[in-house]
Structure 1
Amino acid sequence: MAMSDTGVIRRQGIDAHPVEFTGSGSEYFRVWIVNVLLSIVTLGIYTPWARRRTAQYFYSHTQVAGSPMEFVVQQRKMVLGFLLMAALYIAYQVASETGQQLAASLLLFGFAALLPFLWGSAMRFRLSATRWRGVRFAFLASWREVYAASWPVFAIAALWAVVFFAMNALSPHPPIGVEGDGPPVQLPSLSGPVVGLGLLGMALTLLCVIRLEYNFRSLLVLRARVGDQMGRWKPVYMDFVRVWLATAGFFLLVVVVVSLVFTLLAGGSTALLAQSFKGSGVAGMIFFFILAAVGVFLAFVLATLPVRAYRQARIFQLVWNNTGVSHIARFKTNLRTSAFIGLRIKNALLTVVTLGFYRPFAVASEYAMKVNSVTLHIKGGTDQLVGQLVKQQGAFGDAAADAMGLDLIG
């Protein structure tokens, strides 16, 4: 193993190129604050321009093998995507607010049926807008493949239709009618079998959600093209299940720790507070319950914040340690889960203390930690890689990608 003057590690004909983020929180703050102010002034109309400026900033400051990524797209496509998404949202809100429950339900089910199309469009748009050293990316999955990978969405809908029907059949008493503008909604009365069936439905739903995540991620990599080279994917479904199970165990651990900390800090103060507010009348008791609700909410946030960071780090490690480009390139990451959890907690606290103004610094630091942990291993060097790659030539999907939290890096 040897290191060149440029810092590239060479071993057995394979070059290791660390991926680098050259930006900073202070630089991104200037981009972010302009986006926020212009979005407020224009009542949100500036959103597609803000998305483009943000993407261009992070892409241009992400160095892969010494060359920056590029985000190349026509602005009018992003504007069209934003307007289409906004029109769908407004139509749903108008139908809901005016009591048109049928129309609202049809829009909701229509959106669920369109989910695979939105995801596929998002991936096609994002990858076609990505360029590295003049080489474009592409997502070549057919719509049949996209909808086949989306079967968990429809399985969840069918599952809960069956569960609800079975709950009504198992209910020992007539279903409870819930009054409303339309026909009453039938809710089964609670019993042991009904509760057990509901828990089974939630467990199967979680497995479907995990499967959907696995299907989407694997399809994205396997049907992605860098030039004329296909993506390579190694993880299996059970790898994702193990990450979720580990996340559930970590969640239980965090809940126990947070509960113990709150118990030690509160001690007998809760009873004393309740007694003191009891003599202050109805207003005092209302204030006490509000205070208790805020405490429960803070405890929930404290419990879920590290858990979400834990899962994100584990999935990032699983994906980036097991993907590559054909037989000529692969990725590895040395992201430490504990470090990422600590950074996420610190960023959350500073964001709250600064009333949200630390948010761009938080985003930049988390992005930097993930990106800087990745190394690209190239067989034969970058010149040979680029020599093997050939240039490849809807924005509606970009708006959907932002709404669903999709991101190319992680």
Structure 2
Amino acid sequence: MKSKPSAAVDRIDTRATGTGIQPYPLEFSGSGPEFFRVWIVNLLLTIVTLGFYTPFARKRTAQYFYGHTLVANSPLEFTAQQRKMVFGFLLLVVLYVAFKLLAETGQDTWAALFLFTGAALAPYFWASAMRFRLGATRWRGVRLQFAAGWGEVYKASWPVFAAAVVWIGVVASLQMLAPGARASGAGIGRHLLIVALLVLGVALILTLLCVIRLEYNYKALLVSRAYAGAQPGRWKPVYGDFVRIWLATLGVLAGGALAFALVASAAIASGVAFAPAKRDGLAVVLAIVAGLLAILFAIVVVTSPARAYREARMFQLVWNNVGVSTIARFKCNLRARRYVLLRMKNMVLTMLTLGFYRPFARVSEYRMKTESVTLHVKGGLDQLVGMLAQQQDGLGDALADAVGLDLIG
């Protein structure tokens, strides 16, 4: 669905800068009420079909967001074939059911082999998903393409296998310490416990570094080996940029946890002071349920600002440092503080409305991110037109869903 050209875009189209570089702010023409209608139909049909409407819902959602995202006043298009998305989804369901049957019938060896094979194929699934996603994306008739070879994908995936080696070493170390801990006295036992905690601490730090490196490798590979027509992507960020964002995110997480702990402590102290002295069985059960709900609520409240902060900082870093060959680049002015406040407001409204504010929240966050980006083009936009990429199958897309990847990003 196309919207009318805005006055700002009209002014940009008719005004060339002195350097021959023209800015084109990205726009999002969708709205919360409009997307709510798409969302509620998807939700109801997914429930009625016991989840089997999922691939159709995903395509409708992708087409809505793509069709309302205007780049240089032209919408994106999502052109994936529905039958391929359905086939990929059904195959994923079959694989999941097969694993559950192996696990629940006591065939632990086969279940472990199943998991090991899945882990080994995870880079393939990721690359297949990226190839499917970009191959299904068009802009002004130009289809995007992800051209990385499987060797490049597995080379970029080395942090996955490094993390596995780290935890194999942890298990081996703890097994070596266990006999000594059982046979030793209390003093030596405490010493071995400290050693075990140090081993776990080092393993967690190394694992975090591997996770950061994997995210960096995959984003770098995705951009540098992506093509718009015949024009390759350009990537400038370095690994240190990602580390700094993650460290800042941990700081935000720690601050949020401290603030929540202070508020929770005050609330608990007040509850204890005014609680009745006599408690019956029902009161205890209600207290336990309330405690569990409070823990879940605490996890959401404490982690949401940190997750929103990391998302905003990473979005800004990437879109400020990528381009298309030497003829186009992007700039982003997204502010992390504004995005965090928007996420918190959306979280509160979603909880108060029992989830029905979710489509409005999604539109508002997508709009803020999209409209913070400006495309700067050297010369004419026709330089981006080139050879179209061949579309891939939908298996990778469905498998990517199982590990939390989002189709429209």
2:97 paired with 1:96: no
The question of whether the paired residues in 1 share the 8 Å contact of 2:66 and 2:77 is answered with: yes
| Unpaired segments ≥5 residues, structure 2 | 1-7, 184-190
Task: Give the C-alpha shift of residue 4 in structure 1.
Answer: 7.6
2:91 pairs with 84, 87, 110, which one? 84
Instruction: Provide the secondary structure at the position in 2 that maps to 1:332.
Output: strand
Give the Cα–Cα distance (whole angstroms) in 2 for the partners of residues 150 and 245 of structure 1: 22
Aligned to 2:396: 397
The question of whether the paired residues in 2 share the 8 Å contact of 1:4 and 1:10 is answered with: no
| Structure-2 change in CA distance of 1:10 and 1:4 (3 Å) | farther
Task: Give the C-alpha shift of residue 74 in structure 1.
Answer: 1.4
Q: Which amino acid aligns with 1:217?
A: K
User: For 1:163-212, what per-residue CA distance to the aligned partner results, in whole angstroms no more than 9, with x for missing partners?
Assistant: 1101221333249xxxxxxxxxxxxx970100110111111000000011
CA RMSD, Structure 1 to Structure 2 (Å): 2.1
2:109 paired with 1:109: no
The question of whether the paired residues in 1 share the 8 Å contact of 2:62 and 2:407 is answered with: no
Task: Give the C-alpha shift of residue 159 in structure 1.
Answer: 1.0
The question of whether the paired residues in 2 share the 8 Å contact of 1:153 and 1:212 is answered with: yes
User: For 1:114-151, what per-residue CA distance to the aligned partner results, in whole angstroms no more than 9, with x for missing partners?
Assistant: 11010010001001111110111110100011111111
The farther-off stretch of 129-138 and 390-399 is 390-399
Task: Give the C-alpha shift of residue 267 in structure 1.
Answer: 6.5
Q: Which amino acid aligns with 2:198?
A: G
* TM-score of the two chains, using structure 1 as the length reference: 0.90
Shift >6 Å, 4+ stretches: none
2:56 paired with 1:49: yes
1:196-215 equivalences in 2 (<5 Å):
196-215=198-217
| Structure-2 change in CA distance of 1:190 and 1:305 (3 Å) | farther
Task: Give the C-alpha shift of residue 299 in structure 1.
Answer: 2.3
| Structure-2 change in CA distance of 1:267 and 1:159 (3 Å) | closer
Give the Cα–Cα distance (whole angstroms) in 2 for the partners of residues 297 and 241 of structure 1: 28
Aligned to 1:185: none
Aligned to 2:331: 332
Give the Cα–Cα distance (whole angstroms) in 2 for the partners of residues 353 and 271 of structure 1: 27
* TM-score of the two chains, using structure 2 as the length reference: 0.91
Q: Which amino acid aligns with 2:26?
A: V
Task: Give the C-alpha shift of residue 95 in structure 1.
Answer: 1.6
Q: Which amino acid aligns with 2:197?
A: V
Aligned to 2:363: 364
Task: Give the C-alpha shift of residue 343 in structure 1.
Answer: 1.0
Give the Cα–Cα distance (whole angstroms) in 2 for the partners of residues 18 and 56 of structure 1: 21
Task: Give the C-alpha shift of residue 400 in structure 1.
Answer: 2.2
The question of whether the paired residues in 1 share the 8 Å contact of 2:26 and 2:374 is answered with: yes
1:1-400 equivalences in 2 (<5 Å):
5-8=10-13, 10-11=16-17, 12-171=19-178, 172-174=180-182, 191-264=193-266, 266=267, 268-272=269-273, 276=276, 279-383=278-382, 385-386=383-384, 389-393=386-390, 394-400=393-399
Give the Cα–Cα distance (whole angstroms) in 2 for the partners of residues 373 and 78 of structure 1: 31
User: For 1:215-258, what per-residue CA distance to the aligned partner results, in whole angstroms no more than 9, with x for missing partners?
Assistant: 10000001101100111000111110100001011111112222
Task: Give the C-alpha shift of residue 291 in structure 1.
Answer: 2.4
Task: Give the C-alpha shift of residue 282 in structure 1.
Answer: 4.2
Task: Give the C-alpha shift of residue 326 in structure 1.
Answer: 0.5
| Structure-2 change in CA distance of 1:157 and 1:327 (3 Å) | same
Task: Give the C-alpha shift of residue 262 in structure 1.
Answer: 2.9
Q: Which amino acid aligns with 2:209?
A: L
Q: Which amino acid aligns with 1:247?
A: T
Give the Cα–Cα distance (whole angstroms) in 2 for the partners of residues 207 and 173 of structure 1: 30
Give the Cα–Cα distance (whole angstroms) in 2 for the partners of residues 174 and 232 of structure 1: 57
Give the Cα–Cα distance (whole angstroms) in 1 for the partners of residues 293 and 139 of structure 2: 48
Task: Give the C-alpha shift of residue 152 in structure 1.
Answer: 1.0
The question of whether the paired residues in 1 share the 8 Å contact of 2:350 and 2:358 is answered with: yes
Task: Give the C-alpha shift of residue 34 in structure 1.
Answer: 1.1
Instruction: Provide the secondary structure at the position in 2 that maps to 1:355.
Output: coil
Give the Cα–Cα distance (whole angstroms) in 2 for the partners of residues 6 and 208 of structure 1: 46
Q: Which amino acid aligns with 1:225?
A: Y
| Structure-2 change in CA distance of 1:254 and 1:170 (3 Å) | same
Instruction: Provide the secondary structure at the position in 1 that maps to 2:138.
Output: strand
> Percent same amino acid among aligned pairs?
54
